Structure formats: structure tokens, C-alpha cells
A and B are shown apart, each in its own frame.
Chain A
Amino acid sequence: MIKVENLHKYFDKLEVLKGIDYEIQQSEVVCVIGPSGSGKSTFLRCLNMLEEVTDGAVYIDGVKINDPKTNINEIRAEVGMVFQQFNLFPHMSVLDNITMAPMQIRKLNKKDAEALALELLDKVGLRTKAYSYPQQLSGGQQQRVAIARALAMKPKIMLFDEPTSALDPEMVNEVLDVMKQLAKEGMTMVVVTHEMGFAREMGDRVLFMDGGYIVEEGHPDQVFGNPQNERTKAFLGKVL
């Protein structure tokens, strides 16, 4: 479903990703962990070209997305993304936040788009907030709306960029619960996270990044229970 080959990313002269090779199958939940500045968010953002790829290739469903001939907007419509800072559109109601992209891109009419949005709001437990505005919601509620907004495009893949890092502790679980539900439904997910509990419980695979490399990867039981690499051990020793 996702294939990354020899991915390099520079910010000016700073090399942030130093050759990443990885493959993610359909319905897999891959959790990316690692210290700050290890390149994990950059890696995630290369998967929908929010960051331009300096060298190497990223394939989504067999299509090379960093090819100038590829229409990146069509790819992005199939790849949902959830941000650390939610990034809801403050000038739109919750409902409009969710219906905007399906109406613009999928050409849904207003009625169908709103029916879809309400269905998704049901799923994230926020149907009563349909006519609220983002600034009236708590962080956890905003992030659940952001998930619903991404799901409204019916994506094949969902990318999560530290979705709970900006939340107050008591709101983390309501967001993780929605993500767990998605994982159980078979969504292909790539999750950059500091929630080791979630990675351990829900991850099919865990990927530990440091210094622009994938240092270690494997089943969570193995990465968390019996890490092989010294850097992985040091990192897990600090966070667990």
C-alpha cells in the first residue's frame, strides 16, 4: 500500500532523512516512535508530499507520488492526515469543516455531504456539536472533528502526526479510542506518537527512528520487550 525507497530529505543543507526504505501493507497500523528531531514527522509528511522529497521514491498504491506527472491532489484525497495542532478551519462550523472537501473534490451535493458528516460525527461521538465552531470545542473534541474531516474523503490511508501531543492529559483517551476503533475497522494507519501504550496495544509494527534513520522495527512485543539496538534501549529506558 505504501512503499518508500531510499528516501532522503534535506532542509537546505541539513539532512533530516538519510535513506529510508520501508513498506506498509493494507490494514496495517504502523506506529513511529523516536526522540524529537529524529525525522519521524518529516517521514510522515513525505508520505503525502506535504514535504517535498529530495531523493528516493514514495509509492502509494503503486503510484510514485514524487513524480512531476502524478497529480498529487488525487493522491492526497486518498490519504487522510491528522495534525498535532488539529488545524480545523475556524471560520466554518464543525459541519462545514467536514463537508467542504467532499463537496469541493468529490462533488457531493450539500445534502449527501451533510448526511455523511453527521454519520462521521456520530462515529466520533460529536453529533451534538455539528453547528458549533471549532473554538467552542475542547482540544480533544477538535481533534475528533479533525479525524472526522479526514475520514469524510473516505481515504484508504490515515496519517497521524502526534495527534495527542497538544492535548490535556484527560483528553488523550477520547482521541485514542477513536483511533483504536479505526484500526479495528481495518484502516491502514501510520501514527507518529509518543503514546507508547497505544503503540504497544494497537501497532502491528513499531518503527523506531533516530537521527534520520530507521534504527529498529518490528512487532511491538519485540521492540518494546526485547529491543536490540542500543539507541532503542536508551530511548525506551527514558520514556517507559
Chain B
Amino acid sequence: MDFLDFFRWDIIWNYREMYLQGILATIILTLSGYVGGVIFGLFLGLGQVSKNKLIYLPCKIYVDIFRGTPMLVQLLLIHLALIPTIFGSSQGWWVSGILGLILNSAAYNAEIFRAGIQSIDKGQMEAARSLGLTNGQAMRKVILPQAFRRMIPPLGNEFIALLKDSSLVTIIAGAEILYVSKVVAGTYQRFWEPYLFAAFLYLVLTYAVTKLIAFIEKRVSIEYNPRKKREGRVE
């Protein structure tokens, strides 16, 4: 059997426009889910390090629930139950998909923020507070700048995980990469080409993101390296 004849890549080519839209949808889903998830996650993470039980407990419960249940189940609940209950009808897969990704990734990001904040020596907070800084000032000026540097690698991992998890939105008919492949597979009754191509697209995207994160990490570590910054500037 001729290897090249076995695959019919022309069926992918026939769907090139839909694939392009699918790639775009995957990128938009991931980016909006991630940005929302980081912002919401920061608040949840800060909430988790609060000493006030009324703040700390709800945040912890939220994180436990969203990390302890499958995102597939969360997406179905949001799309078929939560949103129709609140708005009276479905608001489409974009709304449900982005909301699902935000809510889920917020829980994971919250853990990253919590761990990052708690990894900073408590003497740092004490020194800042002893100078008269409020808790918020100490967080902004002293704790978070140090914690963020430690959070970049895990936050990058979370981005890659979310990029791959965005394929789950296919279950609510979100027209992202995997969904397009499903359509192609259904139309031609061929499975190798569309699903291999989907895998290939995710691989390219995650590889690009990995390189980007490595670049950011390097930049930040140079900024953090005092020898390279302000070299020789002594008064």
C-alpha cells in the first residue's frame, strides 16, 4: 500500500476556511478564558490567603469544586442549565464556552497565586507592615512583585492546559478546531486525517506558546538580575 495514497489530505484542504475559523475560535476562547481566569483567579487566590473566614472559606470551596469536577461536566451544566435558567434561553456557545473556561481556569490560577504568595518568606510581610504599610500596600509593593516572578512558569503551564482544554467546548457545539475535524470526519467518514490534523494544530499552538513563555521567563530573570541592571551606576 502506498503510504501517500492512504491519506487523503485534500479533504482538509477542502475545509480550509472552516479550519481557519476554528483556529481563530480556539485562540479567542483560550485567550479570553485565560485573561478572565487570571483576573478572577487573582482575587480568589488573595481571598484564600485572607485571615477572614467569610472571605477565605467561599474562595476555598469554589476552588475545590471547580478543580474537583470535570470541565466537561461544568461546560454542560453552564450551557444547558445555568445560562438558560438565568437568561431564559441559551446565549450561544461563545458565552457558555468562554464563561466555562474562565470559571475553570480561575480555580487553577487561584491555586497558583495562593502558592506563589505563600512561598514568599513571612518576614517580608512583617518588614513591610512594621514600616507602617497597610496589608494592601505590602501586597502590591512587596509580596506580589516577588510572587509574580515565581508564578510565571506555572501560569504558563496553565495557559497550555487551557489551550488544550478549550477543545472540550466542542461538546456544546463550539466551532473550534476539534469541532471542525468532527464535521470533516462525519462528512467523509474518514478519521485519520481530520483528527491527526487537529492534533497537529494543537501541537503547533502549544509549541508556540511554550517558546513565548520561555522568552518571557528569560526577560524577567534578566530584569531581576541586578548585575545586568544599572551596572556600575554608583554615586
* Residues of the B chain whose Cβ atoms lie less than 8 Å from the Cβ of A4: none
Judged by a CB distance under 8 angstroms, whether B133 is at the interface is yes
Interface contacts beyond A89-B127, A100-B141: sample of 6 additional A-B pairs, CB < 8 Å, sorted by A: A76-B131, A80-B131, A85-B123, A87-B124, A101-B133, A105-B133
Shortest Cβ gap from A80 to chain B (Å) = 7
Q: Provide the bound-state CA to CA distance between A234 and B234, in Å.
A: 51
B130 contacts A131, C-beta separation under 8 Å: no
Judged by a CB distance under 8 angstroms, whether A226 is at the interface is no
* Residues of the B chain whose Cβ atoms lie less than 8 Å from the Cβ of A228: none
Judged by a CB distance under 8 angstroms, whether B88 is at the interface is no
B130 contacts A76, C-beta separation under 8 Å: yes
- Contacts A87-B126, A91-B145 given; indicate if A76 touches B132 (C-beta within 8 A): yes
Nearest-CB residue, chain A, relative to B132 = A77
Which residues, 79 to 113 on A, are CB-close (under 8 Å) to B? Answer: 79-81, 83, 85, 87-91, 93, 100-101, 104-105
Nearest-CB residue, chain B, relative to A106 = B132
Subset of 20 A-B contacts with CB under 8 Å = A50-B130, A73-B132, A76-B130, A77-B131, A83-B127, A87-B123, A87-B127, A89-B142, A89-B146, A91-B146, A91-B224, A93-B226, A101-B131, A101-B132, A101-B133, A105-B137, A131-B234, A131-B235, A135-B226, A153-B131
* Residues of the B chain whose Cβ atoms lie less than 8 Å from the Cβ of A80: 130-131
Judged by a CB distance under 8 angstroms, whether B134 is at the interface is yes
B234 contacts A128, C-beta separation under 8 Å: yes
B235 contacts A150, C-beta separation under 8 Å: no
A118 contacts B235, C-beta separation under 8 Å: yes
Q: Provide the bound-state CA to CA distance between A118 and B234, in Å.
A: 12
Which residues, 98 to 142 on A, are CB-close (under 8 Å) to B? Answer: 100-101, 104-105, 118, 127-128, 130-133, 135-136
* Interface pairs A-B: 6 shortest CB-CB: A77-B132, A133-B226, A87-B127, A101-B131, A87-B123, A81-B130
Judged by a CB distance under 8 angstroms, whether A74 is at the interface is yes
Judged by a CB distance under 8 angstroms, whether B211 is at the interface is no
A104 contacts B137, C-beta separation under 8 Å: yes
Judged by a CB distance under 8 angstroms, whether A149 is at the interface is yes
Q: Provide the bound-state CA to CA distance between A165 and B141, in Å.
A: 28
Judged by a CB distance under 8 angstroms, whether A48 is at the interface is yes
A131 contacts B230, C-beta separation under 8 Å: yes
B146 contacts A105, C-beta separation under 8 Å: no
Shortest Cβ gap from A98 to chain B (Å) = 10
Q: Mark B129-170, 1 if CB is under 8 A from A, else 0.
A: 111111001000110011001000000000000000000000
